[in-house]
Amino acid sequence: MAREPGKLEQGPGAPAGGGPGGLSARQADALGLVRRYYELSEELPSSGWLARRMTISSARARQHLDVLRRRGWLDRARLEKP
């Protein structure tokens, strides 16, 4: 089956979503920001930092971070992959 241009493929069993591993587009954006922050500081960003970068509330940023954590995207080994 042909892949739509600009659409990321999902792994087996991944829930429907626009980003890697079934993440929503905004969660994928959050993951990109978290990865860049981690590359520079080797630490995870605060929800406040993420909220400011994404122009969302801290509560919404915490929700994104919680989803990423639950799905394993914030594991050190996974963050260090290119």
Q: Which domains does the chain have, with CATH numbers?
A: 22-79 (1.10.10.10)
Specify whether the CB–CB gap between 36 and 54 falls below 8 A. no
pTM as predicted: 0.72
Q: Could you report the per-residue pLDDT of 29-68, keeping only the tens digit for each?
A: 999 999 999 999 999 999 999 999 999 999 999 999 999 9
- For tokens 């590359």, name the residue: 39
Q: Could you report the per-residue pLDDT of 1-19, keeping only the tens digit for each?
A: 343 433 333 333 344 455 6
Q: What is the pLDDT of residue 3?
A: 38
